[in-house]
Structure formats: structure tokens, C-alpha cells
Homo-oligomer: A and B are copies of this chain.
Amino acid sequence: MRKIETLAMILAGGQGSRLGKLTKEIAKPAVPFGGKYRIIDFALSNCVNSGIKNVGVVTQYQPRELNKHVGNGEAWGLNVHNGGATILQPYASVDGEKWFKGTANAIYQNSSFIDQHNPDYVLVLSGDHIYKMDYQKMLDFHKLKKAALTVGVIPVPIEEAPRFGIMNTDQTDRIIEFEEKPEKPKSNLASMGVYIFDWALLKKYLDEDQSKRRELEDFGKDVIPAYLGNGENIFAYAFTDYWKDVGTIESLWEANMEFLDPTHALNIRNSDWRIYSQNPSASPQFLTETSNVTDAMIVDGCYIAGDITHSILSHHVKVGKGSIVENSIVMSGVTIGENVTIKYAIIGDNAKIHDGAYLVGKEKEIMVVGYNEEIGGLTDDEK
């Protein structure tokens, strides 16, 4: 039987309900980011750049956009040499129809897929974080420590620690305690939702659980405590570069604005660690005689006759004369008429903002226009 070293499983089933309109019809990992990316591009590109070419993408909530985006993984160079991306969805079997209950359960229900690849290690990732990480280094650490499980952790300001799952470690990085959102955190090492498991052992746990208690639904809540209880080797691998959870409108806006900064740690122009995505065909970006574009990221297919400042514009955005876009994120296909004012806003794909519209949010109260929404313009009666 063919064997691979590491299979990555990206958990991309979450709704991300705190993103409101932006995740009403698409899963959170498919939400656009940074002008031409989607959130899941970071996890997928990290896999490829780390030399991991077999990736399962576990979906559940509104998966169509995500499926279309990921496809067979060609955009990330995954469709080669026995590699590939596979979309995994809930399905019906002779035992009935099953939805994935939690992170561990999603892995359990896809264990036949994992077994087909027969990996030594399973790298479990969350599909909704913005970061550049070499998983190979974490894997080296995992092997060095002879760990049963290695958990990627990131130091957070201690005052924010109560919002995270916190790992308490000894001086050898061994995890001795896990606390979910502790009121009085003993450490500032937050779980990144990045796990490396020895597959044989994890499978044993999940299989046995299935025939007994059926309690191992979630990695943080159930599996880590079970491992700790049985004295398995669990280690924390500290990641210290940029990492951002974009779970809310404000954090999504903030992460985009950080991304815009040319001196930012994420350094999108660094060709040693590319972030790949689908690249639609588009004409060159056209900045007309009347445009005024500064401190902005613009993507192909844009036609700009207005003023853009400190903003990100995605593919095929049109901005009419006299319009102002400031501190905002404009997703692809948006049409902005003339004399429109947009500040502190996120405008969803294919929205139409008619002449003279005034959309002004605040830094802590970002205004959101949903996908395909239409703002302003004549009402049907006036037409």
C-alpha cells in the first residue's frame, strides 16, 4: 500500500456567523481577503510551500463557493504527482445521514479518506486564519520530540488570553494542561488550531471511542484532555510570526488594513513564500485622468476615475468620477457610481453603489454592504 508522510486536513466547515452578511451564503474560509485572495488561500499555500501536497478540505456549511475555488487544487500546484486537493462533504451511508459534529468528529468521519493515503502524520488546520507558516519545521519538532500530538501555539497578550484555548507547558515545551478560555490564564500560549497527530494513535482513540462513549467530538475540549489523561506525549510548538484570526467584521477589516501596509510582517511580495489563489482573466487596471490613488492596493480589471486612499480594491471594481473611497475594502465586481462617499466600509462582491450614495462607518463600527446588494439609485417608482 502506498504511503505518504503527511496528509493535511483543513477544517473549512465553519459558518463564521460573526461575519454576518459576509458569511450568509458562503463559508468563512471562502471570504475574500487582501484584494485577490480568499482566507483559505493562506492555509492552502502554507501546505504547498511546506511540501505537503495531499490536502483534504472538510466542508459543511455553504460549500459551493469554496468547492469552486479549491477545485482540484491546481491553482496551488496541488494537482501533481499523486498529490491533490479533495473536497470532503457530509454524506449519507448505510448507517444513516451524518453531519460533522466537531473538529475531531469531522476527522473521524473522514477516516476512510485518510486511510486511503495511509499517512504517518495528519496535520489538522483551521481554514480561517491569516498567516505564513512552515509546517515542515513544526513536523521536524514533532519528530524530534517523539510526540503523539503537537499543538501550534502563539503567544498572545496575557490580557487577551481568556479569549483563547490556553496551553500550559513545562520547560521542555511539554503540554501539561489545557484550559479553554480560562478566566485566570497561567500562560499566554494560545492554540492556533494547528495540530500534528500521529495518525495511527489518533485513529485508535477515535475508533475506540466510537465503540464506547462517543465523546471525542472536539480536539480542544475532548481529545487533548483524553491524551493528557492517558499520559500521551503532547508538545506545544511556538509560532511567533504574524497570525490573525479574522472572526469578526472588525478583525477582518483590521487584518486587511495591516495587509495593506508595505512594511507589514506578512510581506505579500516575498516570492519565497507565495500565497497562491485563483487568478481570473482581467484587463489591466485603468487609473484615469481624474483618478487619485494613494496608499492603496488595486487588482486587475479595476477602472478608477475617483479618489482612493488607504483602501483595497479587488478585481473588476469600477469607481466613478468624484467618488471617494477611504479606509475601505471593496470586493470584486463592485460598481461604484459618481460622487459616492465610502469610508470605513467593506463592500461585498458585485454590490452596486449608485451615484451620490454616502456610506460612512467608523473604525470600530465598520459598515458592511453584502454580496450583490444595491445601495442608492432611483427606486423602481422613480425609474
Show the binding face of A for B, using Cβ within 8 Å: 13, 15, 24-25, 59-64, 67, 71-72, 87, 89-94, 97, 99, 112-113
The CA-CA distance from A190 to B91 in the complex, in Å, is 31
Decide: A90 near B93, CB < 8 A? Known: A64-B113, A72-B71: no
The CA-CA distance from A87 to B71 in the complex, in Å, is 11
* Contact of A61 with B93 in the complex, beta carbons under 8 Å: yes
Decide: A62 near B91, CB < 8 A? Known: A71-B72, A97-B99: yes
Q: Nearest CB to that of A116 among chain B residues?
A: B64
Minimal beta-carbon separation of A265 from chain B (angstroms) = 35
- Which residues on B sit within 8 Å (CB–CB) of A24? 94
Q: Which of B89, B92, B93, B94 contacts A91 (CB 8 A)?
A: B89
Minimal beta-carbon separation of A87 from chain B (angstroms) = 8
Minimal beta-carbon separation of A132 from chain B (angstroms) = 29
A interface, by DSSP: helix, strand, loop or mixed? loop
Q: Nearest CB to that of A100 among chain B residues?
A: B92
List 14 other contacts, CB 8 Å, given A15-B92, A59-B91.
A24-B94, A60-B91, A61-B91, A63-B89, A63-B91, A64-B91, A64-B113, A72-B72, A89-B90, A89-B91, A90-B90, A90-B92, A90-B97, A97-B99
- Which residues on B sit within 8 Å (CB–CB) of A72? 71-72
- Copies of this chain, whole number: 2
In this complex, which of A72, A89, A113 has the most chain B Cβ atoms within 10 angstroms of its Cβ? A89
Minimal beta-carbon separation of A144 from chain B (angstroms) = 35
The CA-CA distance from A99 to B60 in the complex, in Å, is 12
- Which residues on B sit within 8 Å (CB–CB) of A60? 91-92, 97
- Which residues on B sit within 8 Å (CB–CB) of A67? 87
In this complex, which of A72, A91, A97 has the most chain B Cβ atoms within 10 angstroms of its Cβ? A91
Closest 5 CB pairs of A and B: A89-B89, A61-B92, A63-B91, A60-B92, A97-B99
The CA-CA distance from A89 to B87 in the complex, in Å, is 11
Minimal beta-carbon separation of A60 from chain B (angstroms) = 5
Q: Nearest CB to that of A74 among chain B residues?
A: B72
The CA-CA distance from A24 to B25 in the complex, in Å, is 33
Minimal beta-carbon separation of A105 from chain B (angstroms) = 14
Minimal beta-carbon separation of A342 from chain B (angstroms) = 26
21 A-B residue pairs with CB within 8 Å: A15-B92, A24-B94, A59-B91, A60-B91, A60-B92, A60-B97, A61-B91, A61-B92, A62-B91, A62-B92, A63-B89, A64-B91, A67-B87, A71-B72, A72-B72, A89-B89, A89-B90, A90-B90, A90-B91, A90-B97, A97-B99
Minimal beta-carbon separation of A120 from chain B (angstroms) = 22
